[in-house]
Each structure stands twice: as structure tokens, then as C-alpha cells.
Chain A
């Protein structure tokens, strides 16, 4: 019986490993192609571990060559970090307002917020573009940050966690004479810290990977984010596939690092509400 169990598990593990390989192979191919000379990229059988290494030259060319990858990177870090911070603060504030402050019209406003969640972002690109022109937000990082910061999803998700805070905690603070501002900063926010971490990581990933918004709301190359950058690089540099792969590795790597570190938060966040960006 016990042997049968172990054998069954081993077979299942093996089957899943084969399936897993299909998920890892494209990444492995990408990394492998990024560290070899151009002529070896399409060699068959595939040299998974290159015979001749070009890692240093390839990555140096991508990072310090014709395309300003350093600038793209810096732009992305700036936009992503600021969007995450603003989005977390704004979402938490709204979530607190919708869960622990009682005021007239609260439920109606919450329904309005939820309804905006249904609107596909592609449907409103054109008027958003016009509004960006009117407000002078077009081709600025500020515009991009603002665009990513007001999320009905974030409000909804954080509200679920704020609702979990027992009233006694806040009442205790209220007895102390604290107003809502102090209750929010001093009691509510620290209590939902794990949830904030989850939302922040998800928002970070979504913003880092965002392509459509930078494509439409940015024009200058100097302001481009990494997603826009590698796409430009890939379509303009033509046939330097090893360099293109070095670019994509550079674009994906930070996220994989963050995912490995914050794995628990990401997986919990996804499974909790089944949220999707």
C-alpha cells in the first residue's frame, strides 16, 4: 500500500515535471539565446548551454549601446514605484471611508466605484487621450502615474480587509479622542499591513508590465518605459535576436526576482479574490 502510494506520487510528479518543462522552456531558450553569439541563436539541435559565450558583449550592447536602456529602466522604476505608493494610499483611504466612516450617500458612491470596474480600459482610451491633452498630462510621467493610481479594484480589495477590522479596535482609539485621520494611520493601516503588501506587489507587477498606457500616453523616447523600450528595440533592431533576447531578459528579471521574494503575497492575493489586472 505504502509503496503503491509513493510510486503513484512519483509518476504524478514526473508527469507534472514534463508539463512544467513546457512552461520553463521558452524562458530557458530566451536566457540561453541572450548569452550566445548571434549565429548560434537558431542553431539546431539547440545549444542550451552555449559553446561560445557572448553574455558580456550582448548585455553591454543592450544596456549601453544605441538604445537608452538605463533610461527606460529608470523611467519604469520611477513610474512603477510612484504608482504603487499613490495607488496604495488612495485605495486604502477610500477603503477606510467605505468601511468605517458612516456618511450619507456612501453606498450609492460605492456602487458607482464598482460600476467603473466593468468598463474596459480600451473603451475609454480616446476620451482619456483628449483629457490628457487638455490637462497637459500627455507625454508626462505624472499622467501615467495618475492613470494607474485610481483603481476600483484596489478600493474593493482593500475594503474587504478593512471590513475585517473589528470595530472595538477603532472604538478604543475613538475613546482616546482620536479622529478618523489618526484612527486610519495609527490603527487601521497597521492592522491590514499584510494585505497592503499583497496589493502593493500586485500593483507593482501590473504597472511594470503595462504596455498599452505608455504606448498611448507617452511620446518621447526619453520618457519611455521598459516595455515600450524593448518593443521598439525589437521592431527596429531587426535581426539581432540575441540582443533582443538580452533586452527581454532584462525586462522580465526584476519581476521574477520580486515574485520569488513576494511569492506568498502574490499567490494569496490572486487566490483570495481571484483578482485580475
Chain B
């Protein structure tokens, strides 16, 4: 299904072109018998002009190549590569970008050393690690939903859309809505809990102990749709006869899941785990809009601390060292992925 719609060769529209290709295809074949055809598709007899022509063609190809990738490459250079290098350099300095460039002072590794004595940073780092727990939960739940939705329900496409809605909604809007839903005294969630007899419902985002789990609930709610869609695609690619032969052998639902489905989607699980962990490390919007790290930094994360350090406290150098630590975490997960892919995944 996927292949056919996204196929770069939609048959119906290209009958015209294929006819032309047939007409031309004789020429290159003819040329290739002796050696490569030059630009006109006709083999040149004279030797020297060919060489000259070929080298000019190579030059031409190179020029074309750079022209095509040029805009992208220059863009990446200016907006990503140069900033990455600058960030590395700045992380060894004590400086604020509102001061002139001549005020910059290089301090070696002291920014990095300071990080490990910085309580807010350590707390943010810990919160990031706690938030990682949301990733496997989200994956397990979405795999369960995917298995059920894939073969066992009516209105499959409706469910796809419903579960996917949170993912396409903006995080700002989602965060604002959940602020109200979780409102400690008037929010519908606590009204409901009180109504069913819970005496002291948690204060959710206002409580030091419940704030981070509340964020986690929202992250899971947002992320399930994405995992579900990817899982559904993976389930489509499992050959049906595997299940049929399992049926003949009298395998129950659990055996079919644990012996066929689970091992065969393991590359997908691994992919979702890695991308999930990385994007969990990178989450910023939700914290900025939902809690701003409150209460008492109990929901602060690395990216949020980086933001306040850089743009509110204006410590450019120190913020850059946080940035590089964040980069390091992402890099570490990526490296584990490269290594783990070969080791743990059933292909």
C-alpha cells in the first residue's frame, strides 16, 4: 500500500514517457557496446576530443553537483555547522553576548567543572533521566494498541486519526489545555476525582512530587500516536502465513504475540526507543509553556535550564557548556544505537 502510492513511477501518468524511453533506449545500448557514449549518445571516433570532452563533462557534472547541493549546504553551514563550532569554543569561555567580543575570557574547563556543583543543573539532569521512563511506557502502550487496532477492530482508520490527534496539535495549545485540566482546585480532573470519592486529589502541576509525573503523562499522551503509526506500518509487513501456520500448530494469542509479533517488530521497537530517548532529552516547549520549571525547579530540564541561562541570565559561555553536555547525551544514545543495532535486534 505504502510503496504503491509513494512509488516514484506512477504508471498511469507516464505511459507517454515510457514510450519515449523505448525509442531512446536503443541509442545508449548501441553506444555502450564499444565504450561509454559521450553527451550526444554517439561514440566519438577521434581520441583526443573525447578525452577533452570527458574532462569538461566531469567538470560540468561537478559544477552541477555543487549548484544543486549548494543552497542546502550553505544553509547548514551558516545555521548549523558554524554555530556548533562556535558553541564548542564559547563553552570554554566566560562571556555574555551583550558584552563586546573583546570582553571574552577563556577559562578552560572551568564551566564544565562548575556544572557538576550546580544544583539546578544536576536537578534538571535528574529530571531528564526520570522523564526517560515515559519512553518505554509509551512504546509498550502503543504496541498493545497497534496489535489490537491492526487486525481486531472495526473503523481502523478512525482510530488511527484519533490516536494521532495529539501528535499534530501544537505543544503550546496542548500545554495550555492541560494546565486547566490539571488545575488543582477547579480542574475537571480533580473535580472528577473528588466526585468519585477521592478525598485529597493530587495537586498535579502545583505539587513538587506530582509535577514531573504529570508532565510525563502529557508526554506519553502526545507521543503514543507517533509510535502507533510506525508500529502499524511495521505490523503490515509481517507475512500473514506466519500467523496462519501458528494457528495450525494451535498457538494461543500470547504465543503468537511473543513468538511472532514481538520479535518481528523489534527493529521498530529499537528505532522508537532511540528516537524517543533523544527527543525526550530535547523536549523544551512543553516545559517552557506548561511549568517554566516550577514548582521549585522540580520540572526543570536541561534544555529549559540552558534557555534561562543563555537568554535570561545571559551567561553565554556557561550556557554553551550546558549545550555541549546535552549534545554529548544525544551523541551517546546515538552511539549506543549504532552498537546495539547489530547486537540486540532480530532482523
Q: Pick the residue among B87, B152, B166 that contacts A124 (CB under 8 A).
A: B87
**Alpha-carbon gap, A60 to B197, bound state (A):** 39
Q: List, in ascending order, chain A residues with CB within 8 A of B82's CB.
A: 127, 131
Please name the residue on chain B nearest to A94 by beta carbon. B72
| A contact residues around B323 at 8 Å (CB) | 122-126
**Is the beta-carbon distance between A194 and B84 smaller than 8 angstroms?**
no
Q: Is B106 an interface residue (CB 8 A)?
A: no
Given contacts A23-B224, A126-B87, 7 further A-B contacts (CB under 8 A): A118-B331, A165-B8, A172-B25, A195-B8, A227-B170, A252-B169, A264-B5
Assess the B171–A209 pair: CB atoms within 8 A: yes
Q: How far is the CB of A277 from chain B (nearest CB, A)?
A: 9
CB distance from B325 to the nearest CB of A (A): 9
A256 CA / B173 CA spacing, docked (Å) = 13
Top 9 A-B pairs, shortest CB-CB distance: A150-B75, A97-B68, A103-B65, A271-B233, A94-B72, A127-B83, A127-B86, A44-B191, A42-B186
Contact, CB under 8 Å: A230 / B172: yes
* Given A211-B172, A227-B170, A263-B161, A179:B324 Cβ within 8 A: no
Interface hit among A27-35, A50-58, A63-71? A27-35
Residues from chain B with a CB closer than 8 A to the CB of A187 are 17
Docked-complex contact A128 and B153, CB < 8 angstroms: no
Q: Which residues of A contact B162 (CB under 8 A)?
A: 20, 23-24
Report if A184 contacts B (CB, 8 A): yes
Find A212's partner among B17, B164, B272, B285 (CB 8 Å cutoff).
Answer: B285
Residues of B within 8 A of A78 (CB): none
A2 touches B (CB below 8 Å): no
> In the complex the two chains form, what is the Cα distance from A82 to B165 in whole Å?
25
Q: Report the stretch among B109-117, B205-213, B305-313 that lies at the interface.
A: B305-313
Nearest chain A CB to B155 CB, angstrom units: 7
Q: Which single residue of chain A is at the shortest CB-CB distance from B279?
A: A276
The answer to whether residues A23 and B21 also contact, given A116-B81, A146-B75 and a CB cut-off of 8 A, is no
C-alpha spacing A244/B285, complex, angstroms: 18
Given A127-B82, A251-B170, A252-B170, verify A26-B64 contact (CB < 8 Å). Answer: no
User: Across the interface, do A23 and B165 meet the contact criterion of CB distance under 8 Å?
Assistant: yes
Q: Does B159 contact A (CB under 8 A)?
A: yes
The total of Cβ contacts below 8 Å across the A-B interface reads 317
A8 to B151, CA, bound (A): 11
User: In the bound complex, do residue A172 and residue B230 qualify as a contact, i.e. CB atoms below 8 Å apart?
Assistant: no
Q: CB distance A118 to B334 under 8 Å?
A: yes
Which residues in A have their C-beta under 8 angstroms from that of B176? 230-231, 234, 244, 248
B195 CB-CB contact with A under 8 Å: yes
What residues of A have a CB within 8 angstroms of the CB of B307 in the complex?
A: 122, 125, 216
Bound together, the chains give a CA A179 to CA B150 distance in angstroms of: 47
Of B268, B282, B324, most buried by chain A (CB within 10 Å of CB) is B282
Q: Which residue of B lies closest to A44 (CB)?
A: B191
Contact A101 B327 (CB under 8 A): no
Judge whether B281 and A271 touch: CB under 8 Å.
Answer: no
Are A9 and B69 within 8 A (Cβ)?
no
Residues of chain B lying within 8 A (CB to CB) of residue A162: 8
Closest Cβ of chain A to B132, distance in Å, is: 15
A139 to B14: give the CA distance in the assembly, Å.
46
- CB pair A20–B163 under 8 Å, yes or no, is yes
A8-B152, A211-B172, A234-B176 as given contacts; A23 in contact with B166, CB under 8 Å: yes
With contacts A175-B24, A227-B170 taken as known, whether A118 is within 8 angstroms of B62 at the C-beta atoms is no
A208 to B279, CA, bound (A): 19
C-alpha gap A244/B100 in the complex (Å): 41
- Say yes or no: B76 contacts A259, CB within 8 Å: no
Query: Could you list which residues of chain B lie within 8 angstroms of chain A, going by C-beta atoms?
Result: 2, 5-10, 14, 17, 20-21, 24-25, 27-28, 39-41, 61-62, 64-69, 71-73, 75-76, 78-84, 86-87, 90, 97, 145, 148-149, 152-155, 159-166, 168-174, 176-181, 183, 186-188, 191-192, 195, 221, 224-226, 229-230, 232-233, 268, 271-272, 275, 278-279, 281-282, 284-285, 288-289, 302-303, 306-307, 310-311, 316, 319-320, 323-324, 326-327, 330-331, 334
Task: Kindly state whether residue A120 has any CB partner on chain B within 8 Å.
Answer: yes
Beta-carbon contact of A208 and B170 below 8 Å: yes
- Can you show 6 pairs from A to B with CB atoms below 8 A apart? A16-B149, A16-B153, A23-B163, A209-B169, A215-B288, A256-B165
Interface string of A31-49 (1 = CB under 8 A from B): 0010000000110111000
Task: Output the residue of A125, A165, A272 with the most chain B CB within 10 A.
Answer: A125
CB neighbours of A109 from chain B (8 A): 69, 73
Contacts of A30 in B (CB 8 A): 173, 177
Q: Verify B168–A198 contact, CB threshold 8 A.
A: no
Closest to A195 in B: B6
Please report the C-alpha to C-alpha distance between residue A260 and residue B186 in the assembled complex, in whole angstroms. Answer: 33
A103 touches B62 (CB 8 A): yes
Q: How far is the CB of B142 from chain A (nearest CB, A)?
A: 11
B191's nearest neighbour on chain A, judged by CB, is A44
Partner of B191, one of A42, A176, A227, A241: A42
- Report the Cα distance A187→B13, complex, angstroms: 12
A27 lies within 8 A of B8 (CB) = no
A120: min CB distance to chain B, Å:
5
A271 touches B229 (CB 8 A): yes
Distance to closest chain B CB from A238 (angstroms): 12
A191 within 8 A of B: yes
| Contact assessment for A15 and B148 in the assembled complex, using a CB-CB cutoff below 8 Å | yes
Nearest residue, chain B, Cβ from A113: B76
